[in-house]
Structures are given as structure tokens and as C-alpha cells.
Chain A
């Protein structure tokens, strides 16, 4: 299920990325869930795509997070307990941290947040990311790889308190970090486009089944997506593996 609501705008291409990876995604409006016309339990994967849900009013993703935790708390809890996979991209990541599903896997207090970029503005640019060693199923088999994705956000600075940061690092919950040309995590702009702590671009919950990231893997699934595909011979789009891992996991377990 690719979840939509007012202001969602990366839904179609996210659904296409799952489709290309062999999935059979459906776009579902949150109102359909609220009305009981659609049920989360009928799906194996929940993707919350990018966009500006409800205008990102108050804080990015906040209004949708409140809606999900107010109306769909039980349904989400059951979905997670039943081993459903959840992927939040950009605004979806913002929603997931604001529900509490990240980093600790359950609806609850907000432990991590995504602040206004250090540059104080929305920016759209391509960045280098290193896939980290983690329990995450979405990044399975890819640790150590350096990939290029596009970021397009104004509130993407990963931030948390020292204790939570230590816990995230200790448990290996970081899935992606912004890296420089040498493949080293960096705090330097623009390689780290927003000033995220520990160069964190994406994290998973301890079960590895819930992941959120600021960059857009769905914008790197076709050969011509890379801004310099004309300079690269035999380029294999680097965003595909995330969707392929998700679909393969869901099928294997389904």
C-alpha cells in the first residue's frame, strides 16, 4: 500500500518503483483507511511516500502522524506485530519519526526528529550515501555500497538527544549516511546537505522491518534518472535494490 493524503506528491513514482520490483502496489488515501474501505491488514508493505502532507503545517509530517496515531493506532500496531514492512521516504520518514515508529518500532514518544536544514532552505541535489551494516531488510546485502540519490527537502536534519543517538549507533540502526567523494561520512555541506547528526540519512527500527530515509530511492530506478547517466556506461539504477528487497521479503514470507 502506498499511502496518500492531502499534499502527498511522490506516490505515483513510489508505486511504480514497487511495481517495477515485482510488487503489486495500490494507492490508498488515508480517508479510505479511516472509513474502513481499505484495511492495512490486506497488505504486506506500507509505504509512506514523499510530499508535503497537509502542507507540512506545524512540523513536516506532523499532521499526518497525529492522524495515524489517533485513528489507526491499533491497525498499525497489528500490522507491525504481524511482520508488515514499513518504508517512509522523505515526508514519509518525517511521519515515521513523529509517530515514534522510528527508531524504536512502536507508536509512542517522539525520540528523534528532522529539523530545518542547516542552510534554512529547501534544496534539491544529488548526494552520495553509504549503505550501513544494520538489521534492515530493505538494505539487505548492500552494506558498504555507495549509492547516489536525490534529496529534495527543507526539513531533513536528523537530530536526537545524546542517549538516543548512542543507542541508535550501538544497535546499528543507521541504514544510510551522507558521505564525501572518498566514501567517508561527512558533516560538510553540500555532501551532507542538511547538517544531520552523524551524517545520518536513514534509520531502521531494531526489527529491521521499518525504515525511513530522507533521500529518494524511487527517483533512481530508471537508467535516465541519474543526472549524469550520459557519462556512465552500463549504469544500473541504484535505488532499485530497496524495493526489490522489500518485495522479495514480503513474497518469501507471504
Chain B
């Protein structure tokens, strides 16, 4: 019999978690009938008696100074309704392991299994339908959770192991091949026929494991078919996307700067004193769309492992988060079938990133959130990770025949099966139900202890090669590591979360927090010892061979035997053609505003401009003791900064700078200039804090609708934009990722999510002391605008959007003049002449100046040139432009000789912004009013 212990707060105490749920019920669901919510923690134990359960309650689960408990009886008896929410059987509850450990530490014997869940007590006169809405929209994500309606009989999951089946592909018709592919393999007919042909030649049918591993290895997610394809645009053949990007990098990378590009799990550049920095940016859109908390958390976990799996292992030093959602106030009826509401998505994605990064002890210091109604079908969730690694350990490792294949970290379960193939597929209204098992929750502590163990092993030089078990699990990790040698593994050796997995499931499972290391035979014992000391499970699965084959056994049974050559190179290069047909959006006619104050407030409270501080505050940005420029600073900590500055070596002032740029709406108009804008914005953000524009490297992330027709042509133009930018600025791309499935196909609608090109940038600077923040430092200082722009280019701007217009005139950043602008701004900052700097982006000059003033605690007076249209001047969003506050005694004409600049005005003591036009007063607005508009939208969502 299971023992149940319920623990809750003493009745007199406020229940902050319950109040949080109540707040969401009132604000997100607008259900006012619920008056109070309290929460109770429920623990269940199998294998012990009530006496032992009571002992655990007293010693472990409950602190009587503020809590009370009951064993095998209810705790709250006066509620109008009780509702218990637990993880579904098979979804790993991270707390279970701790319960077992602590019970063992306390000497409790016989405990077989433990679980925990939450019971909500509702008070008020609500209806059953309202409670059902609360349950469905706030408390339970049926993908991973369920309402507990009766006490479970057992916590133990069992089952016979699944068998290996043979799939008779040799005799299948085309229709049968496609039926096999649908919802499971996601390969097209041509690819299915290749598999058929291969096995016909071998004279046997494949096992399920073989078909699955081929589908996984050949998935868009893993092999990037589109980026490697031959591309024919308007009848003319162009080089594959990936080739173009790599060739640009080869041309511009300076000797000694780039240590590893495109070949490893992250890209590596040189730092100082024998150290190197690495960076990787990933998307986790599909999992986040159906289970945002777990999807975002495991997205973070995955990209951290990419950094941990670089060279012989790097230490993760920073994380970034970049999201795109539909507006949080989207009416529920506009959310397509099978999709979650953006308000819920936003809050849960933020919570996922928060919990994983904070628990791992990785500062999340840089990010942004963008909103557009067309993200209602699928959000974009981008997570980046950056690492520190000795330069001598930064090259991708190569296993040697005879090296042990060692699985490290978490156990393997059924979770995440088909993640790689699934994330390559377009979302449909069936996605939520059919692919639910592709999602899982993360266990950050498992990953943290693994990271600790791996760094210890690296420092003893015990790791020959290492990689992450990400999409495709062991199949992908071992298959890639052994691509040039061969590998033989025994699937029955893999530690499992529960019995009952078929061999192919063990091979393909995407259970989180696992990595695979190649360890020389003589180092295996010490490697295992280090893992044990860190409470990390490690298992020798097999060895790397010299056979050129990927072989796997389950016991005596051979379940996999494929040539590495066919697995990795069997897929023919695709040929994709498209023609570019530019749309012809209209340029709107906008009247010059009369109510300036109102317009400024509307710009600042636009979702793409407003303060994201409530999000940033839930991320730990100070852990590791390395932060030298926080995301928000200045007076009261309310002024946003453009990039993060870290000092990853605690006893040195060497700085790492990290920033990014994107603006999806511009790609709706023109993917080339939208791409240039994103890259220019990324580098501007870095340069605005003082980064040296020659000491940076770039990472690309393309999140695109399924690349067919016009969307392929736009992708082609976006890649060209990256290449042109790279060559013009002499900045190399060193890592990148494409996710080409942002299309939603419902029963009655097709939604193309806006194409997203996110450019991330990171680099080094010898002295963190020579960086600047964005907050004004004092009154009476000169303000200048540096950079090149045509004010009338407002296409895709927030200002147009306020008028319900998209427009056509995307800002076209002049790549010829941009390098000189960057150099001049960097030079001015390095010379100490710049007190504050901020780049101009969404919301334009007005926003940049207002944000500098918020953190500065002082205002500004600004004179707009006579000949300009004041609204265009204030709201143009051309990237590559900067507002700088200059120290007294500096001469802008000297600092900015040869680059476009204008003197804007001065900082002033009063808490207001005063604008004049051609010397005549235009309007004055109080900072208080602007700031309240600026902070309102996210305050409403997050209640801070």
C-alpha cells in the first residue's frame, strides 16, 4: 500500500504560491469567482509503513515552525474543491530521486519508490466549467501532467521489454512506405525509396531500429538537407547556403582568432592567456509549442550540453534567451486548434528557462522578446549558451578504435522519442496528441553534477571526445562520433528509468541530461571513479571500432548493422529551386502627430519596445561572480543595457561581450534587408557597450517556414545578407542552426510564422573597465547621434505598426559605411570620452533616449533639425546608429571625423525630455509618464 503524506502551510500563514495561482486566474483567465487558493504538497511512498512515513514527515518533509502535515488523510477539509495535479506515469519527476536519497540518509529501509505532486484547494462560488478552464489552461498540461482522481495503487512502472521487429520495406508499395513515414519517420517518398533500395540490395528487411535511425539521421533537424542542397534561384544555380556561409568565414577569419567553426557542437574563438570562448545558439520551438515549461527548460539543457560537449569539454558561463510570441492578450478564439495560448506560453517558457539556468548556476544575461500575431501557431524559442575552455582542449575530439563508448548522466526512458524527426515537421492540429511523447521536463541538477564531473575528467585529460545526447539520442551521438571509425554498442547495458523499452527506443530516446564520451581503455577506471564521486551514473556501452559500421546488440540479438557511409552519406544532395517574386506592400501616408506625448507613450508601451525587466529579474544574472554589466542598470536598476559584459576569469579583467539582434517583422517585407538589420543590430548592441568590432564572431539561427517557393527564395536572400554582412564587416560566422518548420497546417488554415533570422555575437575585450552602460551619467553633457540613416525608411517600424501599417521601406543599412561607424564608436568609448551609449533599434531615437534617461535619473533636451519630419526623426529604427553621452571637453568633430553624426542636445537635470524642432519648442514629456507606459505591458503579464 502507498503511504501518503500531505504537507501545507499553517493556516494562519499567507500561501504565496496559492496567491500566484489566484492572480493568474483573475488576470489571465478573468475568472473572478474564485476567492482563494491554497496549495498542499502530496508525497507518496511505496514499500514503507505508516510509521516510517510519519518519521519522514517529521524529519524531512515538514517543518513545524511554519508547516503542518497529515499521514494518509486530507490536510485541507474546508475547501470548496480540491484538485491534485501530478506528473503522468513515465514522466520523470526530478524530486523522486531526492526523496529516495534523503530517506536513505535518514536510515529508512525498504523504500521502493517515491513521488510528489501538488494539491490545490479552491475557495469561492465558481462553476464546474470555470474549474475545468482553470485546470486546462493553468494547472495541467496534459502532455506531461494529469489530475489525480484516485489514489494510485503503485508507483512502479513495469512492463515486458518491447521486441525488435522487422519492417518488410522491400515489398512495400509507395503508399505503404508513406503510411510508415507519416507521424513517425517524417521522410519523403524519395528518401523512403532509398531505404527500400538499400535493403533490397542487402537482401534483407531492416529492423525497426534501423529504419528509425535512418529517419533520425536523415531528418532535417540533424542533417540540414536544405542548407546543404543545390539551390536554383530564378533559373540560376547558386552555392548551397552552408557553403556560402563557410566560405565567407574562411575569407574573413583572422589567423588565431577562430579556433573551431561549424565542425563541433559550438564555435570557438580565442580569448586570452590560453583560454578560448565558445558559443552555440539553438531553437526549441516545437517542444515549447506543446509543453512550454519542459520545452524551454530542455532547450536550455540541450544548448548547455552543446557547450559542455565542445572540444574535450567547456564550462558554461552564460546563457541567452530570445523568444517570439503572439501578443499575450490575443483573444482565445484566434489561437489555432492544437495550439496553446500565448499568455500561458510566455509565462511557462520564461519559467522553464529560469529554472534550468538558475539551477545550473549559469547566468542568463542577454535576451529579448518579440511579439507578432502570426506567432500564435508556434512560438520561436531561441536559447544560447557560451563557454570557457582551455585553447588546447578546444578542437573537436576524434575517437580511436578501441576507445570505450561511455554513456554519462541521466537514465534512458521513453521520453523524447522522435524529437528529431518531429521538430523537422510542420505543426498540425494533430501535433499535440500524436507527438506528445516527444516532450519531457528537464532535470537541471542531473546536468549540473554531470558538468562538474566532466570538467574534473577533462582537467585530468581523460576525455578523447565528447558529445551531447540531443536529438536522436544514442543513435545520433554514437553515430556521429563513430562516423569515421565504426561503433559497437550493447543497448541492454544502458541504465533505464523503467523497464519495458524496446531496443529501438533505447537507441532513439531523447531523455535529457545524457552525454557520450570516448574514453581510452586505460582511462576508463579513473573516469568512472570521478563520475561516482559526483553522484553521476556512467556506463560503458561498447566501443569504437574500425569496421566502418554502426552495430548494436540487445543481449544476443543484433538489432542494428548499418554502414556508417550509408547512414551519413546515403542521402543524395537535394536540388531546390525557387523564384523570387518580391511582394509589393504599400508605403502608407501617416499624418504628423498632434498628441506627441500620447504617441511617445504608445511607442514605449508597444510590446516590442516595452520593458522586459519582470522577465529578466527571474533569471540569476550574478551567479559565477562574473557580471560586469547587468541587463538592467542605472538608478533604480530600470535602464536596459545593450549587451552583457562578463569577466569569466575572476582574477583578470578580460571581458567577454555577448549580444544579439533580430526583427522578424522586417523579413515579412524583405528578408535581405531584414537580415542585414538583424546582423547590424547584433553588432551594434555589442559595440554600444564598448566591444571592439574586430574582435567579434557571429552565430546564425534561421527559423523559417517550410522552405518552399517564396519562402525558399527569401531564405536565399537572408543567407546572402549574412554573407554580405560577414564580408563587409570582416566578421566570421562560426556556428549556426536552421529550423525550417515554422508552418502550421490546421484543418482549415495554413499559417506561415514570420521568418526569423537571429544573429548572435560574442567577442573579447582586454579590459572590462573600458566598457560603458546606457544610463545617462549626469546633467549638462552633450548628446550625439552617430550613424547613417534615411529617416523616411520606416517600413516594419513600431511607429507604422501603431497605425496598423507594415509599409515597404525597410531601413537599408549601408554596409559600406557601417564598419567606420563601428570603429569610431568603439574608439570613442575606448578613449574614455563616452559616458553612456545606447544603440537605436525598435522604437527609434525616442526610445533610445528615454531608456538612457530612465536609468540616468536625469532628462534631456533635444533639437531636431529644421528640415526633418519630426516623427520620422524620432521613430526611425535603422540599426547601426548610436546615441552617445559625451564627457565634457570632448570634441565630437574629432571623435567622429569621417562618419555621419549629429549633435542632438544635452542631458538636463529635470526628469523630462524636451524636444524642439528647428529651435522651436515641439513638446515636453515627463519621464515618469513615459516610464509608466514602458513598464506597464509586462507588469500586467507577470504581476511585478
List, sorted by A's number, 15 A–B pairs whose CB atoms are closer than 8 Å.
Answer: A6-B445, A7-B445, A52-B448, A55-B98, A58-B61, A58-B95, A67-B105, A111-B65, A118-B16, A121-B618, A152-B358, A222-B625, A225-B625, A228-B773, A230-B777
Tell yes or no: B359 within 8 A of A by CB.
yes
Q: Please name all residues of chain B whose beta carbon is closer than 8 Å to the beta carbon of A70 when the two chains form the complex.
A: 105-107
Given contacts A66-B59, A224-B647, contact A218 B625 (CB under 8 A): yes
B496 within 8 Å of A (CB atoms): no
Between B66, B622, B653, B944, the greatest number of chain A beta carbons within 10 A of the residue's beta carbon is seen for B622
Interface: B94 (CB within 8 A): yes
Does any Cβ of B come within 8 Å of A177's Cβ? no
Cβ-defined partner of B625 (8 Å) among A52, A62, A219: A219
Partner among B64, B533, B622, B647 whose Cβ is within 8 Å of the Cβ of A216:
B622
A-side interface mostly: mixed
* Set B66, B102, B624, B637: member contacting A12, Cβ < 8 A: B624
Closest A residue by C-beta to B619: A124
A1-30 Cβ-contact flags toward B at 8 Å (1 or 0): 000101111101100110000000000010
Is B163 interfacial (CB 8 A cutoff)? no
Is residue B396 within 8 Å, beta carbon to beta carbon, of the partner chain?
no
CA distance A38 to B358 in the complex (A): 29
User: Considering the complex, which residues of chain B in the window 358-402 have a beta carbon less than 8 Å from any beta carbon of chain A?
Assistant: 358-361
B330 within 8 A of A: no
CB atoms of A125 and B445 under 8 A apart: no
Q: Is the CB of A152 within 8 A of B623?
A: yes
Asked if B621 lies at the interface with its beta carbon under 8 angstroms from chain A, I say yes
Contact with B along A92-110 (1 / 0, CB 8 A): 0000001000000000001
With A16-B650, A52-B358, A62-B102: A7-B449 Cβ-Cβ less than 8 Å: yes
> Is the C-beta of B620 less than 8 angstroms from some C-beta in chain A?
yes
Asked if A57 and B95 make an inter-chain contact with CB atoms under 8 angstroms apart, the answer reads yes
* Docked complex Cα distance between A52 and B623 (Å): 12
Smallest beta-carbon distance A206→chain B, Å: 19
Chain B 620-651 per-residue mask, 1 if CB under 8 angstroms from chain A, else 0: 11111111101001110100000000010011
Task: State whether B637 touches A121 (Cβ < 8 A).
Answer: no
Within 8 A of A (CB), among B223-246: none
A241 within 8 A of B: no
Q: Which B45-79 residues have a C-beta within 8 angstroms of A?
A: 59-61, 63-66
> Known: A116-B17, A159-B65, A231-B775. Contact between A124 and B622, CB under 8 A?
yes
Known: A55-B98, A66-B60. 9 other contacts (CB 8 A): A12-B650, A32-B533, A52-B361, A54-B101, A55-B359, A58-B61, A63-B98, A119-B16, A227-B630
| Nearest A-chain residue to B359, judged by Cβ | A52
Q: Which residues of A contact B105 (CB under 8 A)?
A: 66-67, 70-71
List of B residues within 8 angstroms of A50 by Cβ: 623
A161 contacts partner chain B, Cβ-Cβ < 8 Å:
yes
Q: How far is the CB of A55 from the nearest CB of chain B, in Å? A: 4
Chain A residues with CB under 8 Å of B769's CB are 223-224
Note all chain B residues with C-beta closer than 8 A to A219: 622-623, 625, 627
Q: Specify which of A9, A62, A112, A228 is in contact with B623 (CB 8 Å cutoff).
A: A9
Contacting residues, chain A, for B758 (C-beta < 8 A): none
Scan residues 39-98 of chain A and give those whose CB is less than 8 A from a CB of chain B. 50-52, 54-55, 57-59, 62-63, 66-67, 70-71, 98
Give the residue of A4, A111, A216, A227 whose beta carbon is less than 8 angstroms from that of B637: A227
A66 to B106, Cβ gap below 8 A?
A: yes
Residue B63 contacts which of A16, A98, A152 (CB distance < 8 angstroms)?
A98
Q: Is the CB of A58 within 8 A of B625?
A: no
Query: Shortest 5 CB-CB distances between A and B: which pairs?
Result: A9-B361, A13-B625, A57-B98, A120-B20, A120-B16
Min CB–CB distance A75 → chain B (angstroms): 15
Which A residues are CB-close (under 8 A) to B354?
122
Q: Given A9-B623, A16-B650, A123-B618, A110 and B358 touching (CB < 8 A)?
A: no
Q: Does B425 contact A (CB under 8 A)?
A: no
B14 at the interface (CB under 8 A from A): yes
Q: Find the A residue at minimum CB distance from B778.
A: A231
Residues of B within 8 A of A124 (CB): 617-622
Please measure, in the bound complex, the distance between the C-alpha atom of A13 and the C-alpha atom of B634, giving whole angstroms. 24
CA distance A29 to B99 in the complex (A): 20
CA distance in complex: A57, B624 (Å): 22
A230 touching B773 by the CB < 8 A rule? Answer: yes
A166 at the interface (CB under 8 A from B): no
A250–B445 CA distance with the chains assembled, in angstroms: 33
B535, CB-defined interface residue at 8 Å = yes
Which of A54, A57, A160, A164 has the largest number of chain B CB atoms within 10 A? A57
Q: Does A134 contact B (CB under 8 A)?
A: no
B603 at the interface (CB under 8 A from A): no
Whether B534 is near chain A, meaning CB under 8 Å from some CB there, is yes
Residues from chain A with Cβ under 8 Å of B651 in the complex: 16
Chain B residues with Cβ below 8 Å from A126 are 637
CB contact between A6 and one of B16, B535, B623 (< 8 Å): that residue:
B535
CA distance A83 to B775 in the complex (A): 47
**B92-136 interface with A by 8 A CB criterion:** 94-95, 98-99, 101-102, 105-107
**How many angstroms between the C-alpha atoms of A164 and B24 in the bound complex?**
35
Please name all residues of chain B whose beta carbon is closer than 8 Å to the beta carbon of A227 when the two chains form the complex. 630, 633, 637
> Do A228 and B633 touch across chains, with their CB atoms under 8 A apart?
yes
CB of B142 within 8 Å of the partner chain: no
Partner of B617, one of A6, A8, A120, A125: A125
Q: Give the residues in chain B near A216, CB-CB below 8 Å.
A: 622
Which residues of B lie under 8 Å from residue A118 when comparing CB positions?
14, 16
Whether the Cβ atoms of B361 and A10 lie closer than 8 Å is yes
With A54-B445, A111-B65, A122-B354 as known contacts, state yes or no: A31 contacts B535, CB within 8 Å: yes
In the complex, residue of chain A having the shortest beta-carbon distance to the beta carbon of B647:
A224
B792-809 near A? 1/0 per residue, CB < 8 Å: 000000000000000000
Q: How far is the CB of B884 from chain A (nearest CB, A)?
A: 14
* Residues from 134 to 184 in A contacting B, C-beta threshold 8 Å: 150, 152, 157, 159-161, 164
Establish whether residues B777 and A152, one from each chain, have CB atoms under 8 Å apart when the complex forms.
no
CA distance A98 to B630 in the complex (A): 32
In angstroms, Cα B653 to Cα A125, docked, is 23
Q: Which residue of A lies closest to B95 (CB)?
A: A57
How many angstroms between the C-alpha atoms of A57 and B637 in the bound complex? 31
List residues of chain A with CB within 8 A of the CB of B169: none
CB of A196 closer than 8 Å to a CB of B: no
Residue of B whose beta carbon sits closest to that of A31: B533
Any chain A CB within 8 A of the CB of B818?
no
Q: Are A7 and B359 in contact (CB under 8 A)?
A: yes
Q: How far is the CA of A110 from the CA of B66 in the complex (A)?
A: 10
The reply to whether the CB of A210 lies closer than 8 angstroms to some CB of chain B is no
- Give, as a whole number of angstroms, the nearest-CB distance from A29 to chain B: 6
